[in-house]
Structure 1
């Protein structure tokens, strides 16, 4: 299967992709990653550490569906990091054409929410996902979930933004999203993870919970099951 990790111009998207790859491997999956972010930060992370769970291929191309996807081993979980989605719609369009699951990382802040549905410049991620239906064999947009990131312990903002996302904004006229119950906390061990091994407990538990939820919801197969 192919999981697309998208984010608006936000903090922590590549961090979440990498730490999700580690968690998928801990759960028993074979994982291959594709870096479709022009910064190629995920690829650099894999080069810098000895414990990264699988190969990271550079894949920042608007021909992703035509040149990258056919060569994948579809018996693995393939994870693609696509950065600053609203500003690179050509790459993201091609990724969405073939993705099985889309995880959109969003911080519970007004700037991230606005970038998701109505950025000052660029294409809203909501529009990118909606229009991908026309490119896909199924004629339907890929299954998409929101992962709330950098959540402050005890703060009201995660619940407030989860409600906004679920209910289509304050007046119900904006896109409605499926929001995961797993929250990625604002934690220094996570914020400083890129480029370093995943050997700290604080970098593991939230992502293990994420894999458990995705598996329970049927978005990710159990290890050894059909892809």
Structure 2
């Protein structure tokens, strides 16, 4: 659902805002790592980190004075890696296109464990005993369409009948734009690739999940 694209463009935005950033590619496709090599202007180092031992081998070696961004693959494809990332993550951002197939894949997948359960069960492995703070980022939103508001309401309210897990949904939405969809592997030199992610950094800062850069 656009995870790597959003991870990369968020990383550019974090760097533009003055944050010291390091990335970890925990997706076996290693697209983020390849992007950092190909773009020419990628703002930080990307480390290969697609291991189910992430919490034990990668996390302890991080510089925790920096913003460490992890690109994780689909939980249904890499559950062992995702479980290990969730064990130590401070903040989880799930990207979701406002369409019924993507909504059902998040809430009632045909195969695999619903992501709400995956996140909830991570609490048993975490020092706090609580799952990580999690937000949904609506992605590929058509300008003027009713679908983003519709699916934001469904997510916040636990579905049509309120029986599904309730999600925190970010106010920032990533628009459906070719310049964003085609960003992987290329420089962040288009205005369309900047504005939504600068807004996302602002929102995360206002919500207290990023430090204020002085």
* Normalised-by-shorter TM-score class: over 0.9
TM-score by length of 1: 0.93
Corresponding position: 1:53 with 2:46: no
Question: For 2:173 and 2:19, how far apart are their aligned partners in 1?
Answer: 22
* Matched position secondary structure for 2:68: strand
Q: Which residue of 2 aligns with 1:216?
A: 206
Q: Which residue of 2 aligns with 1:144?
A: 134
* Structure 1 residue 223 displacement after superposition: 2.3
Q: Which residue of 2 aligns with 1:77?
A: 67
Q: Which residue of 2 aligns with 1:7?
A: none
Question: For 2:102 and 2:210, how far apart are their aligned partners in 1?
Answer: 26
Corresponding position: 1:110 with 2:106: no
Match of 2:157 among 149, 167, 173: 167
Question: For 1:48 and 1:120, how far apart are their aligned partners in 2?
Answer: 36
Where does 1:167-206 land on structure 2 (aligned, <5 Å)?
Answer: 167-206=157-196
Q: Which residue of 1 aligns with 2:88?
A: 98
Q: Which residue of 2 aligns with 1:18?
A: 8
Question: For 1:62 and 1:222, how far apart are their aligned partners in 2?
Answer: 33
Q: Which residue of 1 aligns with 2:29?
A: 39
Q: Which residue of 2 aligns with 1:66?
A: 56
Name structure 2 gaps, 5 residues minimum: none
Q: Which residue of 1 aligns with 2:124?
A: 134
Question: For 1:24 and 1:185, how far apart are their aligned partners in 2?
Answer: 19
* Structure 1 residue 86 displacement after superposition: 2.3
Match of 1:119 among 109, 125, 134: 109
Name structure 1 gaps, 5 residues minimum: 1-9
Shift of the 87–122 alpha-carbon distance from structure 1 to 2, 3 Å rule, reads: farther
Question: For 2:42 and 2:61, how far apart are their aligned partners in 1?
Answer: 21
Runs of 4+ in 1 over 2 A off after TM superposition: none
Length, aligned pairs only: 214
Question: For 1:90 and 1:25, how far apart are their aligned partners in 2?
Answer: 30
* Matched position secondary structure for 2:76: helix
Question: For 2:22 and 2:151, how far apart are their aligned partners in 1?
Answer: 32
Question: For 1:184 and 1:132, how far apart are their aligned partners in 2?
Answer: 28
* Structure 1 residue 222 displacement after superposition: 1.4
Superimposed CA distance per residue, residues 48-71 of structure 1 (whole angstroms, 9 cap, x where no aligned partner): 022101100111111000000000
Question: For 1:169 and 1:178, how far apart are their aligned partners in 2?
Answer: 13
Q: Which residue of 2 aligns with 1:4?
A: none
Question: For 2:194 and 2:84, how far apart are their aligned partners in 1?
Answer: 31
